[in-house]
Amino acid sequence: MKPLVTSRYIITRNNMTSRQIRQLYRICETPLHVQEHMQQVAKVATIIAKKIKRNGHNVDTKFTEQLALVHDLMKAISFKEVDQKSLPKKYQNIHDVMATSRILKKQDEKNLARAVLSQQFDAVISPDHPIKSIEETIVYYADKRVAHTKIVSLEERFEEGSRRYGKRNKKIEKEIFELERELSCMTGEDLSRYTARIFANA
């Protein structure tokens, strides 16, 4: 994975309001438990972003929060129980992140539409949609620290994923652990030691 770069997004667009994000949840029929997951990821990501900013790094905390709040907007189309033929043709058999990007582009949220593509699980090794900014990195990492709404360690999250999908990708996991070390250096704290209690009091 390439070294982390400074923000690409500061003062480049108007911020989405909470109301606009809630409207997107309704339009996309985002399940409540997915909304709750994104809200928890947003809390974790915002805490990390603020710590990094306090250490003098250029990071857009608001954009970080917004990206976290929409990164799984269309997650439901990837659920096993969903009949792909029942979906609109443009959303059939595509990654839910790609579908989310298309929705955001229609809403004229071009920066979010681009950034959300970096939230696929393989983004740390993908040449197609690699992580390119601090904001994308923070949200990607925060997502891996939240199982549903519970804050867990990376190892616990990978174990949970293994139980759900029946496999683990050691190459990707190695990159994510490295990402955790890089973010820890930027915050000045060992994020691997951060528990739910510590995040709650941060």
pLDDT tens per residue across span 85-137:
555 655 665 678 989 999 999 999 999 999 999 999 999 998 988 999 999 99
Rounded Cα distance, 52 and 175, in Å: 20
88 CB-near residues (< 8 Å, 6+ apart):
none
Residue 11 has what pLDDT? 46
Q: Place 168 in a pLDDT band, splitting at 50, 70 and 90.
A: confident
What number of residues does the chain have? 202
Q: Where are the domains of the chain?
A: 18-201
Q: What are phi and psi of 151, to 5 degrees?
A: -80, 125
Give the mean pLDDT of the chain: 87
Question: Which fold would CATH assign to domain 18-201?
Answer: Hypothetical protein af1432 (1.10.3210)
Q: How far is CA 106 from the centre of its chain?
A: 20
Is the entire prediction scored with pTM above 0.95?
A: no
The answer to whether 189 and 51 are in contact (CB under 8 A) is yes
